[in-house]
C-alpha cells in the first residue's frame, strides 16, 4: 500500500496548476446518462473517484473513451442492465447520482445504497423523497434502491428538508426529462451545482435558478450531446493555499477560480496571509507574517466549506492563539485530530461537532494514518510544517481527491515522496 513520506520545515514557494473539480466531474459524468448523444467532458481530473465513475458507466453499457488530451468522451446510447452494484457504489457515494438520470430516462433503476467516506451516517432520504414526489415507486431491498417509473417522472414542487449537494444534483438531473415543471426548494448553492446546471443547459435542459435556493426545470423530451469544461477544483486550490500559509511560504495557484473560494480566502486573510487574485489565479504570501488562529464554522455554500475544515485545523495547530472549529454538516468529521496530535499538536474535541485548537510552536514528524479524503490533506499540511519526516499511511484516501499530489507539492519545493 502506497505511503507519502514528507520531510517538513520548508516554506512552499512557486506556482502550481489546479485540476478540474472532482465534485463537479462526478455528477456531470452521471448526467451523461440523460442523453443518447455523444458528450465530451474536458478538464476532468485524473483521480481514482473519476475512474470509479467511468467504471460504473462502463458497467451500465456506456461507451467511454479518454482521448489523447485526456478529455472524456461518453456515449450512453444503448444501456444494458440498469444496475449500479454495491462494489462500485460502496467506495464512492457520488455513484448514487446515477439514480436520478437512469429513472428519468429509462423508467427504472437498481442502485446500491452508498458508502464513501466514513464521516457520519450520510443518508439519501432527500434524494428518494424527491424522486417519489415526482412519481417514482421506490423500494429498498437488500441494500439496493429499486426505483420504477414506467410512465416517466412528473414535474412537481419538491422541498428538501436539509440542504444537500448530492440530493439537489440527483433531482435536478431527474427533472430534466420529467413531464412538466419541477421546482426544487432549499437547494444547495455550491459552485459544483452551478457547474452541473451549466452542463445540463449545454445539453438542452430548460433549467434556471441554479446557484440560488430555488431551481426551476421544465422537462423536455430528450437532451442532445455537447461539450463541457469542468470548473477548477476549489478544495484542491484551497488546500495548497493553506499549506503555503502554514509553512510561511508564498505560492500562486493558477487555473483556479477565486470567486468560488470567498469564505476560505477571507479566513486565510484573517489568519494573516496576504492574498492577491486575478481572473484565474490566486496568490498567497505568508513570508515574514505572523500566523494567527482563526475560528471556523462550516456551513452550506456560500458558508465555509466542510471540505476545508480539516486543513484549517492543521493551520490553527501551528498558529498563534487558540481557535474553535465547529463542524455543522457532518458528524464524526474530526478523525484527523488524533493523527495531527501525534505530531505534537494540541487539539481537544468536545462532542461530535466542536474542537478547540491551541496553537503550538512547532510539530515533529511521526508515522500517521489517513482516515478519509480531506482528513488526509490536513495530515499532509501538518507534515509539511513538522520538523523531521512524517510517513502517511493509507494514502489511497488522498488519491481519491488530489491529482498527483506529490508532483504538485514538489513543484513548490516540498520534500515529498511516494513510497510503497
Ligand atoms: C458533497 C461533496 C462532499 C461535501 C458535501 C458537503 C461530492 C461528490 N461530495 O457530498 O465533498 O463534503 O457535499 O459540501 O460532491 N443529508 C441528508 N439526507 C440526504 C442527503 C444528505 O440528511 O438525502 C445530509 C448528510 O448526511 C449531510 C448533509 O446532508 O449531513 C450534507 O450532505 P450532502 O450535501 O448531500 O453531501 P454529498 O452530496 O454527499
CB 18 within 8 A of CB 370: no
Q: Is the CB of 123 under 6 A from ligand 1?
A: yes
Taking each continuous run of H as one helix and of E as one strand, the counts in the chain are 14, 24
* C-alpha neighbours within 13 Å on the C-beta side of residue 154: 8
What spacing in Å lies between the alpha carbon of 127 and ligand 1's midpoint?
Answer: 11
pLDDT for 297-335, tens place per residue?
999 999 999 999 999 999 999 999 999 999 999 887 899
Task: Check pocket membership of 25 for ligand 1, CB cut-off 6 A.
Answer: no
Nearest-atom index, ligand 1, CA of 24:
15
> Does any ligand 1 atom lie closer than 6 A to the CB of residue 192?
yes
Confidence (pTM): 0.97
- CA 215 vs. chain centroid, Å, equals 21
Backbone angles phi, psi at 301, to 5 degrees: -55, 140
Mutate to test the pocket of ligand 1, among 158, 162, 188, 378 (most ligand atoms within 8 A of CB): 162
Total residue length of the chain = 420
State residue 121's pLDDT score: 55
d(CA 123, CA 115): 10
Read off the DSSP letter of residue 104: H
Give the Å distance between the CA of 304 and the centre of ligand 1.
14
* Cell numbers for 5: 513520506
Strand partners, 215: 184
Can you point out the beta strands (E) in 39-180? 39-42, 63-66, 72-75, 83-84, 108-112, 137-141, 144-148, 157-159
Catalytic residues: 117
Q: What's the CA-to-centroid distance between 94 and ligand 1, angstroms?
A: 9
Residue-by-residue DSSP string for 197-221: HHHHHHTT-EEE-BTBS-EEEE--S
Query: Which residues share a beta bridge with 41?
Result: 72, 228
Task: Extract the runs of DSSP E, i.e. beta strands, from 257-353.
Answer: 274-277, 281-285, 296-297, 322-326, 346-350
Ligand 1 pocket test: pick from 158, 167, 298 the residue with the most ligand atoms within 8 Å of its Cβ: 167
Asked whether the bond before 164 is cis by omega within 30 degrees of 0, the reply is no
Q: Is the CB of 167 under 6 A from ligand 1?
A: yes
Percentage of the chain modeled with pLDDT above 70: 98
The pLDDT of residue 292 is 98
Write down the pLDDT at residue 409. Answer: 98
Tell me if 309 CB under 6 Å of ligand 1.
no
For the CA of 93, the closest atom of ligand 1 is: 39
- Give DSSP secondary structure letters for 74-94: EE-SS----EE-HHHHTT-GG
In the reported structure, the alpha carbon of residue 144 is separated from the centroid of ligand 1 by a whole-number distance in angstroms of 19
CB 95 within 8 A of CB 114: yes
Computed on alpha carbons and rounded to an integer, the radius of gyration of the chain in Å comes to: 21
The answer to whether the beta carbons of residues 212 and 187 sit under 8 Å apart is yes
- Between the CA of 268 and the centroid of ligand 1 the distance, in Å, is 25
E strands, 81-186, in order = 83-84, 108-112, 137-141, 144-148, 157-159, 181-185
Residue 122: the pLDDT is: 65
Which ligand 1 atom is the nearest neighbour of the CA of 26? 8
- Write the pLDDT tens digit of every residue in 199-239: 999 999 999 999 999 999 999 999 999 999 999 999 999 99
Instruction: For ligand 1, say whether the CB of 129 is within 6 Å of any of its atoms.
Output: no
Indicate which residue's Cα is closest to atom 24 of ligand 1. Answer: 122
Distance 97 CA to ligand 1 centre (A): 12
Which residue of 115, 164, 298, 377 sits with most ligand 1 atoms within 8 Å of its CB, as the best mutation to test the pocket?
164
Q: Is the distance from the beta carbon of residue 23 to the nearest atom of ligand 1 less than 6 Å?
A: yes
What are the tens digits of pLDDT across the range 127-165?
A: 999 999 999 999 999 889 999 999 999 999 999 999 999
**Ligand 1 centroid to 166 CA: how many Å?**
6
Neighbours of 63 (CB within 10 A): 13
Nearest residue by C-alpha to atom 25 in ligand 1: 122
Closest ligand 1 atom to Cα of 128: 23
Q: Whose C-alpha lies nearest to ligand 1, atom 31?
A: 164
Strand order in the sheet with 72-75: 63-66, 72-75, 39-42, 226-229
Q: What is the pLDDT of residues 378-394, one digit of tens each?
A: 999 999 999 999 999 99
Q: Which residue, judged by its Cα, is nearest atom 32 of ligand 1? A: 164
Report how far ligand 1's centroid is from the alpha carbon of 272 (Å).
Answer: 31
> Does the CB atom of residue 94 touch ligand 1 within 6 A?
yes
In angstroms, the first-to-last Cα distance of the chain is 6
| Segment 20-73, tens digit of pLDDT | 999 999 999 999 999 999 999 999 999 999 999 999 999 999 999 998 878 999
- Angle (CA) 332 192 99, round 5°: 75
The cell 482516515 sits on which residue?
371
Amino acid at each position: 500500500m502506497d505511503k507519502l513520506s514528507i520531510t517538513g520545515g520548508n516554506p512552499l514557494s512557486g506556482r502550481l496548476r489546479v485540476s478540474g473539480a472532482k465534485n463537479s466531474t462526478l455528477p456531470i459524468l452521471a448526467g451523461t446518462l440523460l442523453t443518447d448523444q455523444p458528450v465530451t467532458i474536458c478538464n476532468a481530473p485524473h483521480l481514482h473517484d473519476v475512474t470509479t465513475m467511468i467504471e460504473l458507466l462502463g458497467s451500465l453499457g456506456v461507451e467511454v473513451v479518454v482521448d489523447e488530451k485526456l478529455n472524456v468522451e461518453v456515449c450512453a446510447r444503448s444501456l444494458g442492465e440498469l444496475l449500479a452494484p454495491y462494489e462500485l457504489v460502496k467506495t464512492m457515494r457520488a455513484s448514487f447520482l446515477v439514480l436520478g438520470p437512469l429513472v428519468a430516462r429509462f423508467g427504472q433503476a437498481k442502485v446500491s445504497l452508498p458508502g464513501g467516506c466514513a464521516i457520519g451516517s450520510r443518508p439519501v432520504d432527500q434524494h428518494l423523497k424527491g424522486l417519489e414526489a415526482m412519481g417514482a415507486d421506490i423500494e429498498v431491498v437488500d441494500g439496493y434502491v429499486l426505483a420504477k417509473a414506467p410512465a416517466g417522472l412528473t414535474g412537481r414542487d419538491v422541498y428538501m428538508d436539509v440542504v444537500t449537494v448530492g440530493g439537489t444534483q440527483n433531482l435536478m438531473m431527474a427533472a430534466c426529462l420529467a413531464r412538466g415543471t419541477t421546482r426544487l426548494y432549499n437547494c444547495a448553492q455550491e459552485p459544483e451545482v452551478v457547474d452541473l446546471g451549466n452542463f445540463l443547459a449545454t445539453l438542452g435542459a430548460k433549467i434556471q435558478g441554479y446557484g440560488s435556493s430555488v431551481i426551476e426545470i421544465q422537462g423536455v423530451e430528450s437532451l442532445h450531446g455537447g461539450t463541457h469544461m469542468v470548473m477548477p477544483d476549489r478544495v484542491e486550490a484551497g488546500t495548497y493555499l493553506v499549506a503555503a500559509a502554514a509553512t510561511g511560504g508564498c505560492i500562486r495557484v493558477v487555473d483556479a477560480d477565486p470567486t468560488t473560494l470567498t469564505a476560505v480566502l477571507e479566513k486565510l486573510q484573517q489568519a494573516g496571509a496576504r492574498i492577491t487574485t486575478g481572473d484565474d489565479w490566486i496568490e498567497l504570501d505568508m513570508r515574514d507574517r505572523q500566523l494567527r488562529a482563526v475560528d471556523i464554522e462550516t456551513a452550506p455554500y456560500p458558508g465555509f466549506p466542510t471540505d476545508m475544515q480539516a486543513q484549517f485545523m492543521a493551520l490553527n495547530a501551528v498558529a498563534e492563539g487558540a481557535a474553535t472549529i465547529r463542524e455543522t454538516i457532518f458528524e464524526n468529521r474530526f478523525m484527523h485530530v488524533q493523527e495531527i496530535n501525534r505530531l505534537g499538536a494540541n487539539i481537544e474535541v468536545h462532542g461530535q461537532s466542536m474542537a478547540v485548537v491551541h496553537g503550538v510552536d512547532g510539530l515533529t514528524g511521526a508515522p500517521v494514518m489517513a482516515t478519509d479524503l480531506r482528513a488526509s490533506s490536513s495530515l499532509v499540511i501538518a507534515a509539511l510544517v513538522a520538523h523531521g519526516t512524517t510517513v502517511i499511511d493509507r494514502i489511497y484516501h488522498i488519491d481519491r481527491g488530489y491529482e498527483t499530489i506529490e508532483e504538485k507539492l514538489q513543484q513548490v519545493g516540498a520534500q515529498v515522496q511516494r513510497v510503497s
